[in-house]
Structure 1
Amino acid sequence: MKSQSPDPGPFGVMVHKEIADHIRSWRFSILIALIVLTFIAAMYVSLANIKSAIGNTKDPDHLFLYLKLLTTTDNSIPPFHVFLSFLAPLLGISLGFDAVNSEQNSGTLTRLMAQPIYRDNLLLAKFVSALVIVSGLFFALALLMIGGGLVLTGVRMEPQELLRILGFIVITIAYVAFWLSLSIMLSILFKQAATSALTAIGIWLFFTIFYQIVINLIVKSFLPDPAYLSQAEIIRYNDLILNLQRIAPNQLYSDAVTTLLMPSVRSLGPVTMEQMAGAIPAPLPFKESVMIVWPQVSGLMASTVGCFAFAYYFFMRREIRS
């Protein structure tokens, strides 16, 4: 007697359906191709310069070959993690900007709500399905990088390198999840998919390009010229600018992945000479690096949960009619 497969339930069916829709869409294929080509270009430049990076004994991180593959560059193109700070938001926005309004405009949302399923299951299925695809993509790229490095160099990977690369992937997924939840919320607020897409891209451009300019202008207009400040006042001045810049999600992501991929980074803010006295220029253990970036990681996760909570609130209060 054959054993029947368990019923996945309405939530599982919707997740499978959303994953299939994303995989078949042209926009997802184009973004995947763009990210893969960027990865290949960054790996090519890293491998071309890996000998000089490893041979530089003045660099405390010169022994971490696989981390150098993600951070080494000859300044012709940025390293892969810098590319991701620009491309990952576009991936999240493309997967969520029409999650709800396109279905309502086409009439499928009314038919879905007529079935015995909950609204929160529908919203969660759209979020989870996109995260499953994103997770699969970045884990596949990480395995490709590790396998290629092992074949081309023959160097064994250290456990700390594996942990740091896995941490880098998890933070990147959390970064994409923030933009995904934001775009899903905008797809609920606006009736047209084009409006929600343009709004999400506008927010991304503001935080990526204009936010730092605005912060610097505001701080310089209220605070005195740093040339007339003491060392302690300059440190407080820089701390204020850094803390304001860390409201931007791309700054949180850059701080977190830079610390994980470069074990010699000991602080994300200005350090006095007294604090540097006696410090040994050696890589930090993985646990210590995680402790440094934990505020950034928790900030990204809190922002993601907040955007998804707002999306859930607006969707539960939305009137759906044919």
Structure 2
Amino acid sequence: MMQPNKAVESRTLKELLRLNERRERISRLWAELRPAGEADRPRERSSSSFWVMVQKEIGDHLSSWRFGILMGIIVLACIGSIYSAATAIRSGGSAADGGVGDTFLFLKMYTLTSSALAVPSFSTFLSWLGPLIGATLGFDAVNSERNKGTLGRLLSQPIYRDDFIKAKFISALAMIAVVVFSLGLLVMGLGLFTIGYPPTPEEFARILIFLLIAVVYIGFWLCLSILFSIRFRQAATSALSSIAIWLFFTIFYSMIINMIDSATAVSQMASPEAQLRQMNLVLTLNRLSPTELFSETISTMLSPGVRALGPLTMDQLVGAIASPLSLGQSLLLIWPQLTGLLAATMICFGLSYVLFMRQEVRSRA
């Protein structure tokens, strides 16, 4: 009874020996065919798969219905704001700009609005609709792939895991940059027909910096929506979370700050130092909102007559010349706000990156 088992074992041992011999032959043959020094060379990261994913995501955004509908709404709002600004310029509304007059008339196309038309300016539209662009492009960036079962299959391919989340962010940010700069240049082109002369080099530089800041601001909301898409498995939950945060900072946050200001207000008979501390406290709390930071940056870049973003004392006003600031001085004035926007965007992206890299991804059958 034991002889058949011994025969089976000996046959199995012979097959294993043959397999080991074949593996050794294949390894020796591969070592001979491989170029010299390739064994010690570290494996380099290929960027081809990353850019393929970026191109694929851009194509998906361009072919989606929601992106087309959102672009239609934004273009209509942009045309309305251009018409309102042109009407205000024709009616002589450009003179009311803090003493600057018609020195920077071309910038009024982005900030001016007609009192006869209930249409906000282009910068106001961008501050309102910009977060919707970021939330629309990022609220289902990861959870849709997970729910469809394509995330596990994609990560099982010879690509790096962090390339996936970076491709999602880079492709959406590229689409945001294209949309913002296209609308901004559209306003500039229509402003040429309205005003009749091109912008000065300083005006052109201010407009480009304003559009770049708008891309950073919308990029913050994009990173926030991508973070929610990683945290929540349902796309509806991540979308509602992004919209809730946007509504909180746009509408309710200012109400909360006003209540805090009323509760901690000092009397009018208090010392100037106490009143100044109260104003600085309210200003600091307001600047915790990305919407307030963006509003201060665009008001400084598009209105050179703005010389300060905080409370001014009489000592600071004595001897001051009523003239617009140069481009360099305006950049120095908004540098803290711009740094805050960049920091908030990087923090949101860093949290998204760490959370995605630590998540378990399982392939669906």
CA contact (8 A) 2:266 2:274 kept: no
CA contact (8 A) 2:249 2:289 kept: yes
Q: CA deviation at 1:304?
A: 0.4
Gaps (5+ residues) in structure 1? 1-6
Give the structure-1-normalised TM-score: 0.94
Alpha-carbon distance in 2 for matches of 1:257, 1:149: 18
Structure 2 partner of 1:65: 105
CA contact (8 A) 2:110 2:123 kept: yes
CA contact (8 A) 2:155 2:161 kept: yes
Alpha-carbon distance in 1 for matches of 2:297, 2:327: 13
- Across the aligned residues of Structure 1 and Structure 2, the Cα RMSD in angstroms comes to 1.6
Relative to structure 1, is the Cα distance of residues 226 and 92 closer, same or farther in structure 2, using a 3 angstrom cutoff?
farther
Q: CA deviation at 1:55?
A: 5.0
State the number of aligned residues.
315
Alpha-carbon distance in 2 for matches of 1:66, 1:57: 13
**1:99-123, Cα deviation, whole Å (9 max, x unpaired):** 0001000001011101111121110
Q: Give percent identity, aligned residues only.
A: 48
Quick one: which of 160, 167, 174 aligns to 2:216?
A: 174
Quick one: which of 269, 272, 289 aligns to 2:330?
A: 289
Alpha-carbon distance in 2 for matches of 1:109, 1:156: 50
1:133-212 to 2 correspondences below 5 Å: 133-212=175-254
Structure 2 partner of 1:265: 306
Structure 2 partner of 1:4: none
Structure 2 partner of 1:82: 124
CA contact (8 A) 1:89 1:176 kept: yes
Quick one: which of 6, 11, 14 aligns to 2:53?
A: 14
**1:256-307, Cα deviation, whole Å (9 max, x unpaired):** 0000000010100111122111111111000000000011111001000000
**1:191-221, Cα deviation, whole Å (9 max, x unpaired):** 1011111111111111111112212323433
Alpha-carbon distance in 2 for matches of 1:173, 1:300: 11
Relative to structure 1, is the Cα distance of residues 56 and 186 closer, same or farther in structure 2, using a 3 angstrom cutoff?
closer
Structure 1 partner of 2:79: 40
CA contact (8 A) 1:67 1:262 kept: yes
1:225-236 to 2 correspondences below 5 Å: 225-236=266-277
Higher mean C-alpha displacement, 246-255 vs 150-159: 150-159
Alpha-carbon distance in 2 for matches of 1:152, 1:220: 45
CA contact (8 A) 2:106 2:195 kept: no
Higher mean C-alpha displacement, 300-309 vs 27-36: 27-36
Q: CA deviation at 1:140?
A: 1.3
Structure 2 partner of 1:312: 353
Alpha-carbon distance in 2 for matches of 1:250, 1:273: 29
Relative to structure 1, is the Cα distance of residues 315 and 214 closer, same or farther in structure 2, using a 3 angstrom cutoff?
same
If you compute each CA radius of gyration, which structure gives the higher value, 1 or 2?
2
SS in structure 2 of the partner of residue 169 of structure 1:
helix
CA contact (8 A) 2:94 2:112 kept: no
Q: CA deviation at 1:227?
A: 2.6
Q: CA deviation at 1:56?
A: 5.5
SS in structure 1 of the partner of residue 198 of structure 2:
coil
Paired AA for residue 304 in structure 2? P
- Higher relative contact order structure (alpha carbons within 8 Å, sequence separation ≥ 6): 1
Paired AA for residue 287 in structure 1? G
Gaps (5+ residues) in structure 2? 1-45
**1:164-212, Cα deviation, whole Å (9 max, x unpaired):** 0001101100000000001101100011011111111111111111112
CA contact (8 A) 1:62 1:68 kept: no
1:30 aligns with 2:72: no
Structure 2 partner of 1:279: 320
Relative to structure 1, is the Cα distance of residues 96 and 61 closer, same or farther in structure 2, using a 3 angstrom cutoff?
farther
